[in-house]
Amino acid sequence: MRVLVTGHKGFVGTVLVPMLIAAGHEVVGLDIDLYEGTTFGDADRLKSIPALKKDIRDVEASDLEGFDAIIHLAALSNDPLGDLNPELTYDINHAASVRLARLAKEVGVTRFIFSSSCSNYGAAGENWLDEESEFHPVTAYGVSKVLAEKDIAKLADENFSPTFSRSATAYGVSPRLRSDLVLNNLVAWASTTGRVHLKSDGMAWRPIVHVEDMSRAFIAMLHAPRELVHNQAFNVGRTEENYRIRELAEIVAETVPASHVDYADGAGPDKRCYRVDCSKLSRTLSEFKPQWDASRGAQELYAAFQEVGLVTEEFEGPKYKRVAYIKQLLNSGRLDETLRFVK
């Protein structure tokens, strides 16, 4: 297939693209490269492919002609970043995503895979959630993904087939590393300070998924017969990979030598609490075979951080934290108030 990947230079895209190419697909990217200054390790790890350097809000129908499928990753990508400017979050994650899907349908793109999130479920507590569970998003990011799903689903017909990939909280090593993801952050703290530092009481539930397994899910959806995935949502991860945050902290403490769990002063509950049933994905798509769990992921992260000599100032600074990096670009005048590069 000829596949367009939006956000191909982000945390997920830089892992997904080489896997798509290895699976035999012709891949084109579309990305403004907002995070060009956040490359982790050797820049040569970034896969170079034909690409459009364009803001997702500025896409034209002609940009989408000739593709069999679109995997839409581009978004303001987490809760703190979404809260920085909720209106922009809705413009990019909701309005621009629906517009992209509508244009794709107009030019004959038949498959559209939307990168959604288990953040849609939000404050759900102890109950197990499947794809039919109610949404209770607690952040602008979560609300924007819910709205996008609902409006893109309305476009589905015999010629246009959307699929919704509701990923658990991601983790793992990527050429565009993020340290604002829970397991990545805990391993970074332990690796650089010996402290597995929790900023909440650690009692909240969170499903997690390795970025490579996220990518395997996208590819399985792309390969699946249309009737299995048409206008369907899938929770992406493994059901057994739901953890309380303090359980993840203990795994990290067991992985990183001479480290111990500690709590920030005043650490309280996290209102984002949910655990999800991911059995529909593996039951429906036999190609999806996840390979990672939290323990193996912590080992991978620790080895990578040791190899590059990661220090606290780096992972707690703007380089690997999305909201801090965006604020740095805004303060330097490189981005305007709409998050567009100043020419």
290-302 pLDDT, tens digit per residue, is 999 999 999 999 9
Is the pLDDT at 77 greater than 90? The verdict is no
Is the pLDDT at 254 greater than 60? The verdict is yes
Is the pLDDT at 37 greater than 80? The verdict is yes
Q: Band the pLDDT of 43: cuts 50, 70, 90.
A: low
Amino acid symbol at 195? R
Which strand (E) or helix (H) includes residue 4? strand 2-6
Is the pLDDT at 132 greater than 80? The verdict is yes
β-bridge mates for residue 54, sequence order: none
Mean pLDDT of 163-182: 96
Mean pLDDT of 70-90: 82
Domains of the chain: 2-176+209-240+272-291+325-331 (3.40.50.720)
- Residue 335 near residue 326 (C-beta atoms within 8 A): yes
Is the pLDDT at 62 greater than 80? The verdict is yes
Is the pLDDT at 44 greater than 80? The verdict is no
The confidence score (pLDDT) of residue 81 equals 62
Is the pLDDT at 82 greater than 70? The verdict is no
The confidence score (pLDDT) of residue 168 equals 96
> Helices marked H in the chain — which ranges?
13-22, 79-84, 86-89, 96-106, 140-153, 182-193, 211-223, 226-229, 245-255, 279-284, 294-308, 312-315, 322-331
Mean pLDDT of the chain: 93
- Per residue in 92-128, pLDDT (tens digit) is 999 999 999 999 999 999 999 999 999 898 877 778 9
Mean pLDDT of 311-328: 90
The confidence score (pLDDT) of residue 261 equals 94
β-bridge mates for residue 167, sequence order: 117, 236
Is the pLDDT at 266 greater than 90? The verdict is no
Please state the separation of Cα 79 from the chain's center in Å.
Answer: 11
Is the pLDDT at 83 greater than 70? The verdict is no
Cβ atoms within 10 Å, residue 24? 7
Mean pLDDT of 147-158: 98
